[in-house]
Amino acid sequence: MYSPELYLNLALNALSVGMLYFLICSGFSLVFGLLRVLNFAHGSLIMWGAYLGVFFTRALSSFSGALILTAVIIGILGVLIEFFLIRRLYGNELFQLLLTFGLIFILDEVVKLIWGPGVIPVEKPEFLQGSVMIYGEPFTLYRLFILATGAIVCVSIYLLLKKTKLGLIIRAGIENKEMVRALGVNINKVFTLVCGMGGFLGGVAGFVLGGFSGLSPEMGFGQLINILVIVVVGGLGSFIGTAVAAIILGLSESFLGFFLPEFAMIGIFIVMFVVLSIKPSGLFGGE
């Protein structure tokens, strides 16, 4: 019989995993929601965020400064990718797929050229080392940092989408781009901005992920399956769906990992199977 404290600790760990998944998927979901572009290179942007995050943390000796600088640079990379590449391929899904897959190889190989092909362990900053006791069970500070970052990002995006004119345009654009244009909105500018925001979120996710799991050139591609499963379970294009699906998958992975470890690796696919069997468009997807 397990104690309630253990369940609480397990739930907090699961939530932190869910939040990490949410950070990883949020940029991808935002871009797909508006542009209908499956940016398979999002994982590689996350990987670049992780490498640059470690590089800047060491160079600047400032954790928060490195986080912001990393996110901004990956955001600019997102803008450049939209402006020079994706913009030419709207409506051509096959070419978008080929382009974003091609970008994976380029971005991953450049990382190998600069930092080498091996795994690089990352030491967490001093103030995030160790753990706190919550109801008698230890909970690592870095997981607390993930929870806080995920919550801040989630609330910020929610407020942006719900409370600003830009958010209004994004939500309307997801539904009917032509009508948004007919209202006098330059939606191409919004597309570019959203790609920048997607990159920014990828940069934040990479920064956090690097400190959590270390660096490797495969870390971005490895997240691609998780990203796709989460956005499909949440409902393609639904930002709230992505957040909910990420938390559900974090919970399932952690609880299965504890109680049925042999199923831990396939937990997310079990969740996907159950959800899509009941609602093929995903939890928050339109019919």
Our CB check for other proteins shows the closer of 143 and 177 to be: 177
- Alpha-carbon torsion 134, 137, 138, 140, what sign? negative
Specify the residue, 120 or 172, whose C-beta has the smaller distance to other proteins.
172
Per the DSSP assignment, residues forming a β-bridge with 140 are: 131
- Least distance from C-beta 230 to other proteins, angstroms? 21
120: β partners: 215
Radius of gyration of the chain, Cα coordinates, nearest whole angstrom? 19
194 close to 170: Cβ distance less than 8 angstroms: yes
Site for other proteins in 129-188 (CB under 8 A): 165, 168-169, 171-172, 174-176, 178-187
Size of the site for other proteins (CB under 8 A): 18
| Shortest Å, Cβ 165 to other proteins | 6
Between 69 and 190, CB nearer to other proteins: 190
Min CB(229)–other proteins separation in Å: 24
How far apart (Å, rounded) are the C-alpha atoms in residues 93 and 86? 10
x-marked contacts with other proteins along 81-100 as a string, rule CB under 8 A: --------------------
Query: Is 121 or 165 the residue whose CB approaches other proteins more closely?
Result: 165
Q: Would you say 68 or 185 has its CB closer to other proteins?
A: 185
Nearest approach in angstroms of CB 155 to other proteins is: 20
Provide the 8-state DSSP code for 3. Answer: -
State the nearest-atom distance from the C-beta of 263 to other proteins, in Å: 37
User: E strands along 141-254, which residues?
Assistant: none
Q: How far is the CB of 239 from other proteins (least distance, A)?
A: 11
2-41 residues labelled b (16+ CB within 10 A) or e (exposed): eeeeeeebbebbbbbbbbbbbbbbbbbbbbbbbbebbbbb
In three-state secondary structure terms, 85 is: coil
* Amino acid identity at 247: I
153/187 with CB nearer other proteins:
187
**Binding region for other proteins (CB under 8 A):** 165, 168-169, 171-172, 174-176, 178-187
